[in-house]
Each structure stands twice: as structure tokens, then as C-alpha cells.
Structure 1
Amino acid sequence: MFLAFKELGQSKLRYTLISLIMIAVLFLVFFISGLANGLGFGDSAAVRNLAADHVVLNEEAEGAIIGSNLSEDQFDEIEAKLDRDFSPLSVTMMTSFSSNEEEVDVTYFSVDTESYPDIEIAEGKNINELTGNEVIIDESIKNDGFSLKDTVTDKNTGKELIIAGFSKDQLYSNIPVAYASLEAGLSMNPNQGTSYNAVLYSGEKVDVDGFETLTIGEAVKSIPGYTETQGSLKMIVVFLFIISAFVSTVFFYVITIHKLNQLGVLKAIGATTGYIARSIMIQVGLLTMIGLVFSGSLVYGMTRLIPEDMPFRLTPELMLGTAGLFLALNLLGALLSVYQVAKTDALEAIGRAE
């Protein structure tokens, strides 16, 4: 450890530049990871947070709730097979409502308010407390100037609604979801009649012939475009990890090559390969930790400056996982420098030093 810190102190400029490069690379890794997570969260949060374990759809929907359509007869057929509480779900996409000068796009999730479980509420009423034309909508619309108990107008139908509550993490395709009763929600789409998109229930899976039953996780992966978008973004993150680990490995390897003579002399006067290897690993670990702390601080500061409606979500778990993986890759890459030290012959190094 003495050797590691002594060298860091003697070559401040060199290791400062390495740290700055590492901070920049890590900042990019954290940012892309947060963006990928935020886009995925905004696409799927409402489906992910459905208060159910399973979703029943028609077979032609190929797992997409928005592509499913259950007639009254089909709904009755599913109802006859289920021996537990359940709720139909009707989804009305891309409508909007306004209040005074504010206007926002919304997606309606219409459910049976008597059988559907409570959801996480930030303020106001919960599902089973809704009456008449009251709705519960994701709290993100507060950023557009909407408040609890506001009367809003659905632009497609001209119907008036009352914001009775604000929910947490209820977004679908990055659009706020408004929970409504079946009566209020179905009326927002006159062409839908009394058909539903899905049936929701909790408990063990019940297979209904002629229909497709999915878990919530499977329903999330079946959202149109979700898997493709997340796959592309995750591929970018993977390549960033590979590139950043490669850059770090090359930097430390080149530095090791440049000081092979000195390392050989150290071996000649009694320093073991293990001692020098520990010094290299300590340097790599320390510089990586410094990069993680500063890049994490920069990302945290950035989250205070970016617009609130930007799909960016970097949770502590994601940051810790990213940091741990990056540290592991850097230490793994440092083994190349350790290998170079291990095969250095002390006598040859002394000859070159002379």
C-alpha cells in the first residue's frame, strides 16, 4: 500500500488525467443507464403496477393489452372460469383533457372500482372511493398546473371529470394514466361500447381455453416496442461498459510498461510480485472509486437541473449495481498489468535500467 500511495503522490498529473477520463466515461455510463431505465419505466409503469398477478387477453392480441378486445360474451366466458375476485380492464389511449389553459395527453384505465384493489396514492382518494366522473391520475401532471379537485374536460367527448386523487408511478407509453370507473372510462370512447381489453385477477394462474393468460411481467414485455427499445438501449450500455473497461485497462497497462525497469529493480532488491501486484490493484481500485464518487455526484446534480418530464430514472440500486460492475471490470482489466509485472525478469530490468 505504501508503494501505491507513494507513486500516486509522485505522479499527480498523470493520475489526475486518468481520473478525469474515468469520471467522464462513468458519467456517460450512469446517464445512459438512467435514460434506458427511465424510458422503460415510463413505457411500462402502469402495467407493471397493475394490482393483479395475471392478465387474461384474447389470443389474437399476442400479449399486448392494448391490442386485445373482449366482447361481453367472451367476458362472461372468462368470468365463469374464475373462482376469485377479478376486474375487467378497459384502456383508452391518447386522449386529452384540459383545465383552463392547461392541456395534457392521458390514457384511461377503466376498472371495476368495487373489486379492484387499492393502488399507491400520493394524494386524495383511492380506487374504491371513486364516484361518478371522478378520476385518479398520475401525479406527474402536477407539473402541467393541475391540482386536486380540478374539474377537467375530456376533449374527445366534452365530458367533465374531477381529479379526485393523484397516484404514483402510473405511466403508459410515457403518458399519465387516469384510473376511472368502468362507467366513466368507457364513456370516453363511444366506439368501444361495453367491450374490455383484459381481465385482471390475483392468485394462482387459471388457464381459460381460447384465451391467453399472462403474468404481469410477461404483459410488460409484450407492450408494443418495449422489448425492442430496451434491447437497443441495453446494448448501448453494454458497449459503454466494454469500452470504458478497455480504456482503463489500456491506460494502466501502458503506465506499467513504462515503469517496467523500476519494477524490475524493486523485484531485484526483494519486492515480491504479490507486493507489486497489490500496489497496482490498489491504485486501480482507488482511482475507480474516486471516479465513481465524482461521476455519481455529477449525475445527482444533473437530475436537479434536467426537466422533470424527461424520462430519466437512476435508482440507488441501479447506481450501486453499475458502480459494482464497473469496479469489477476495472480490477479484472488490471490483471493484464499484473501479468506483465509477473513475467518481468529482475536481471534483465536491471540491465535495461543501466
Structure 2
Amino acid sequence: MELANATSSIRPRDTNVGSGAVSEVFSALEGLVVQANATRQNLDQLAPFEIADARTHAYDVHIRAAALIETGVDFRYVINVRDKCEPLSSGLISEILQAADEFCSIEDLNAAGAAVRTAADAGIHSVSGSVHPARLVAIGLAKLRWNVGFSFIADVKMLGDDLKWGVDQVESASLEDLQDQVAKLAERHARREAVLFRANASGGDAWIDATAAKILEVSDLSLNEALALIRDDDDHHISLSSSDVGGAFAGLYWDNGVLKAWINDGVQDWSFQDSSLSLNVEGIPQTVIGSLPGKRLGQLVEHRFIPAQSVITKVAQTGDWIDLELVTAQTPIAVGDNDRLAY
């Protein structure tokens, strides 16, 4: 089994805008920010507009201007770059300027900022025990293009799925929901920190599971080449071609510090995603299916990509199909980043 033209066949996952288009949109936004700064008037309370730092700009981009008065509250204008119904045009400049003017007209910005910070701080501090905990790095009030009022914003610096530090953005119309979302990010960060420390203790700074390692083995891609193609939360499709697999697709992605794989093959009636193997089991007795939890996959089926030693932990059946939840072996990997513990 071989990967056909592995490097050239890798493409972004199916979304409204591909990664190349996102870069193009991002460049256009940078130009709009320059124009907005050149034409702004009577906005002395705000620093110049800029694109807010974030882990990824693949979905929403925040146009940011820090308040120069003692509020600590950012102005944000949120643009959905995946939405084809939200074209980038010169009209955005006037919308950004109008929203900034509305922001500066808020009567008690200090009180609004204090409320946002209190909610976000409560979310951050709801989780204890981290050596390097997640941090609140900015708060703000945001105008979404199609919304009338402002929503609340919190920027959290934390470990991502690839265990790199970055900024995750939370946006909500409710302070209670904002606090809950920030708390979930803090919990996620703490779990990822524990994964990172286990990898460090094993001589690495991340993990790869056995199925992803098998995909790399047959692809002729090195680990470094694969990592160069994968970005946090960006799933890449790799086209497989052989007489055994037919028109299968496979992908590699980060999941809480572990490089994982998914595989989809409609020809041979199986698919694998999120550690779950779906199989057509027509003809297999129910007594066999019911006895699978706790057994190794190799006791049921031999699979080219999924190790026989994988342990079946749960079985769900729908008609002739079963979903097997699997635990697969993981190996520490060194991805060459020295700043993962940087705070």
C-alpha cells in the first residue's frame, strides 16, 4: 500500500475557504487596517488599529485597538473570514470606524471592562495546579458585523493542541458564558500541560499514536515534513491509492498533544476517526460482538493501519455496523520547539 504523490496530494480540509484563500484574505485585511488608520478621525481614545494576535486566523479575525484611557478594554471588530457572505470590501473601513466610534461613546467603559475582567479572571482561576497556568492577556468589547450591540471578549494565552503556546479568543454575549468558556480553556490547558510533562519525562515534547505513525510509514513523508504541513487545528487530507485500499483518504492532526490519524475508505467498508474504528460486521455472531470490550483488535480483524495490539474499550452497533472505541499505543516525539515551556 502506498501513498500516491503524498506531498502534492495533501490539501486543506473541506471548508468554505482553503488555507491559501485565508492567507489572501488576511493580506487584504492588513491593507484595510492600513486604510482605516489613515482615514480615522476623532478616535483619540484608541490606539491604532491592528490585527489581534491569535493562534489561528482561519475562521475569525479580530481588528483590535487598545483603549488609551485607564480601562484596559480593547475595541474589537470581528470578521468571519470563512463566510462567503461576508466579502471584504472598502465598505468594511466605514463599518470598522463606525463601530469604533460607538465603542468610544459607551458611557461607563470602566465598569464594562471591570465586569469582563472579573468574569474572565474567575474562569482562569477556577483551575489550580498548573505549573505554568493559562493567562488572561486581554479583554475587550467586540462588534460582530451583523450584530447590533457589543459582545464580550477574552484572550487567553495557553497551550494548543500541538502543545505550543498561543492565544485563544473567547467571544460571548453573556458574561456568565464567557466565564464558563474561559474556565474550559483553563482546564484544557492544564490537561495539555500534563501531557507535555509526560512527554518531557519520556524524552520528547509531544506524542504520536501508532496509527498516525503507520500513515507516515507508508507515505514516505518524514515526521518533520508532516509537521511542517500540519498547523494547529488544520487537518490535512492525504490521498491513498492501491488495489487494497482503492479511493481511501487519510489525515493527520493534533489532538491535545498527540499526533493522530483518521482514515476513510468506502470501498472496503471501514473508517477510522477519533480513535473509533467503524466496521461492517455482517455475519459476525452477536455473542462475538458482545464479548469484544477488553480484547485486542487483532482478535477480531487484521488491519493494515491500526495495530493488532490496540485495545477495544467500547462497542456500539447500528445494524450491520459497529463502532469500536480503541486505545492505541503512543510514542514520544521531539518536534524541535524549545519554547514549549516558555511563559
Q: TM-score range by the shorter chain?
A: under 0.3
TM-score by length of 1: 0.23
| Greater RCO, 1 or 2 (C-alpha within 8 Å, sep 6+) | 1
Comparing both structures, which one devotes a greater share of its residues to strand?
A: 2
- Flag the structure with larger Rg: 1
Comparing both structures, which one devotes a greater share of its residues to helix?
A: 1
